[in-house]
Amino acid sequence: MSFFRPGLEIDETLNQSRLEAEPVPASLWARATVFLAVWAERRAARIALSGLDARTLRDIGLTRTMVDFELSQPNSRPIRDPRR
């Protein structure tokens, strides 16, 4: 299910992207590639979240304060669901 924009798949818990759900590769190069892909995916999700208007945020049960807090987090951290 896509929460923020088409093509950006995040599971219902918002804790793991589809890339994180895959097994960790053995080589350092492969792990670095997966890390960068996850980082870019989280960055894109936070950028999309920042562009939502007040009505859309209200529809999904978030406040601007919740969004601002999430935007202040580094992209190395998973996106969390503040409603839980």
* Residue 48 belongs to domain spanning: 1-84
**DSSP, residue by residue, 3-64:** SSSTT--B-TTSS-BTTTTSPPPSSHHHHHHHHHHHHHHHHHHHHHHHT--HHHHHHHT--H
With a threshold of 0.85, does the pTM exceed it? Answer: no
What tens digit of pLDDT does each residue of 38-81 get? 999 999 999 999 999 999 999 988 999 999 999 999 988 888 87
Range 7-24 average pLDDT: 53
Taking 70 as the threshold, does the pLDDT of residue 18 lie above it?
no
Over residues 23-31, the mean pLDDT reads: 79
The overall longest dimension of the chain from CA atoms, in Å, is 45
| Total domains in the fold of the chain | 1
pLDDT recorded at residue 27 = 87
